[in-house]
Amino acid sequence: MTTHLQAKATLHNGVKMPWFGIGVFKVEEGAELVNAVKTALVHGYRSVDTAAIYGNEEGVGEGIRQGLQEAGLKREDIFVTSKVWNADLGYEETLKAFDMSLEKLGLDYLYLIHWPVEGKYIDAWRALETLYRNGRIKAIGVSNFQIHHLKHLMKETDIKPMINQVEYHPRLTQKELQAFCAEQGIQLEAWSPLMQGQLLDHPVLQEIAQKYGKSAAQVILRWDLQNGVITIPKSTKKHRIEENANVFDFELSAEDMKRIDDLNENLRVGPDPDNFDF
């Protein structure tokens, strides 16, 4: 059970990944980014999620270096995720993209295929397998893969993804995908867990939040953890970075978990993995 901010999930290859991390989508290179990452680490976060397409890997690397120093931590204490962008999918292209990410970040732990581009993700996965076999990366995974993408990938390649990072929040509870991933030992990870801030004034979430003396954001993030889903809320504000991580001192009842599950409308804030054109 996830009892504290540094608690870790064990991936199917035995590597341990924190249940909780900070995301940095749409945060541009610069002081705000470096400070957000540093603040998160100093506050106890041990995992950071970025991607090549975010264009901020250098600042993430810098924020981590500053955070490590300020918090007196070692490189091995931090888990970092990056993702290969669609334009770089392909065996040689993906190997090259990995080197670029590594150079910018200065470190890497988990590497994901960002989107399941038809006709391309199998070759890209073979590149991730090579990186993994050569010990260049601790874990490999995918993002935005539906069940049929996962089945196809597993049929054509050798190593099962350790992670599937997908849009996941009370409006999009992904029950079938989650059950399939659980069956396969693929750990589910939530992106846009707060639905990019659009869910926070929902009356049911507000009511539950009041009952526990918590915020709606904290209730949602706690719901992620109690569902066994890794979560990476984004904030650049110190008070929210702290607020979001303060979810280990209460437990939602089964009834409240169900009330939150029942908010599902299969509604996405991001693109549909079965129908995207980038």
72-80, 117-125, 131-139, 236-244 -> range binding ligand NDP (CB under 6 A): 236-244
Separation in Å, CA 240 to CA 127, 206, 235, 236: 37, 17, 6, 8
CB 242 within 8 A of CB 43: yes
Q: Is 143 in the site for ligand NDP (CB under 6 A)?
A: yes
CB 142 within 8 A of CB 153: yes
Q: Which residue is nearest to ligand NDP (CB)?
A: 23
19-27, 86-94, 132-140, 255-263 -> range binding ligand NDP (CB under 6 A): 19-27
CB 9 within 8 A of CB 187: yes
The binding track of 155-174 with respect to ligand NDP, each residue x by CB under 6 A or -, is: ----------x---------
Binding positions for ligand NDP, 205-234, rule CB under 6 A: 215, 217, 232-234
The least distance separating ligand NDP from the CB of residue 133, rounded to whole angstroms, comes to 24
For ligand NDP, the closer of residues 185 and 271 by Cβ is 271
Contact residue for ligand NDP among 197, 251, 257, 264 (CB under 6 A) = 197
CA 214, 218, 220, 221 torsion: positive or negative?
negative
SS (H, E, C) 154-172: HHHCCCCCCEEEEECECCE
Contact residue for ligand NDP among 35, 236, 238, 257 (CB under 6 A) = 236
Q: What are the residues facing 82 on neighbouring strands?
A: 111
DSSP character string of 246-268:
--SS----HHHHHHHHTT-----
Q: Is 23 in the site for ligand NDP (CB under 6 A)?
A: yes
Contact residue for ligand NDP among 66, 130, 184, 196 (CB under 6 A) = 196
Binding positions for ligand NDP, 99-128, rule CB under 6 A: 114
Q: What are the residues facing 8 on neighbouring strands?
A: 18
* Pick from 66, 79, 67, 99: nearest CA to 23: 79
Catalytic residue among 45, 54, 109, 121: 54
109 annotated active-site: no
Residues that bind ligand NDP (CB under 6 A): 23-25, 49, 114, 143-144, 165, 191-197, 200, 215, 217, 232-237, 240, 243-244, 270
